[in-house]
């Protein structure tokens, strides 16, 4: 029997994190959550998830900086960033050059989330 794939979800909006976690679990994936970039990097190193979906604007360490740290640890990491605001273009270009899979904008639908998970996990 194949092992379930694990998705790391990262967002400081706890309600959104719980809802997204529920949606991804309903698709048959294991889910690990983190509430800031520092915690995301730590959990990534612990579990090496198949896919990380992470908000950009968070306390302690933003999603871009967490992405850069994760990529230093694992250059093959699959990461999609979430944003509700305009992005730091310089960081976005650097992230794209380091194989950022893409970005999705809040609010996102279940269908958008499902498409990302099915495509990259």
Digit-coded pLDDT (tens) for 74-89:
999 999 999 988 778 8
Query: Tokens 């991804």 correspond to what residue?
Result: 24
Domain count, the chain: 1
Per residue in 50-61, pLDDT tens? 999 999 999 899
| pLDDT (average), residues 98-105 | 94
Is the predicted pLDDT of residue 73 greater than 80, yes or no? yes
pLDDT at position 86, please? 77
pLDDT for res 61:
94
Distance between CA atoms of residues 24 and 71, nearest Å: 23
Q: Let me know if residue 1 belongs to a domain.
A: no
Sorting pLDDT into bands at 50, 70 and 90, what band is 44? very high
pLDDT at 1 over 50: no
Domain presence at residue 89 = yes
- What residues contact residue 8 under an 8 Å CB cut-off, 6+ apart? 31, 32, 33, 34, 40, 43, 44, 47, 49, 51, 52, 53, 54
Domain of 52, in residue numbers: 6-120
CATH number, residue 42: 3.40.50.2300
Question: Can you give the pLDDT at residue 26?
Answer: 96
Which helix (H) or strand (E) covers residue 107, if one does? none
**Average of pLDDT values for 67-74?**
98
- Specify the pLDDT at position 2: 60
């Amino acid at each position: 029997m194949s092992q379930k794939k694990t998705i790391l979800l990262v967002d400081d909006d706890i309600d959104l994190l719980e809802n997204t976690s529920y949606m991804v679990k309903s698709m048959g994936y294991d889910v690990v959550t983190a509430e800031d970039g520092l915690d995301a990097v730590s959990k990534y190193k612990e579990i090496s998830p198949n896919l990380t979906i992470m908000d950009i604007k968070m306390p302690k360490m933003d999603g871009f900086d967490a992405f850069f740290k994760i990529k230093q640890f694992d250059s093959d990491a699959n990461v999609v960033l979430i944003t509700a605001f305009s992005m730091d273009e310089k960081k976005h270009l650097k992230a794209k050059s380091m194989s950022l899979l893409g970005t999705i904008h809040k609010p996102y639908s279940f269908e958008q989330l499902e498409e990302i998970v099915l495509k990259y996990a």
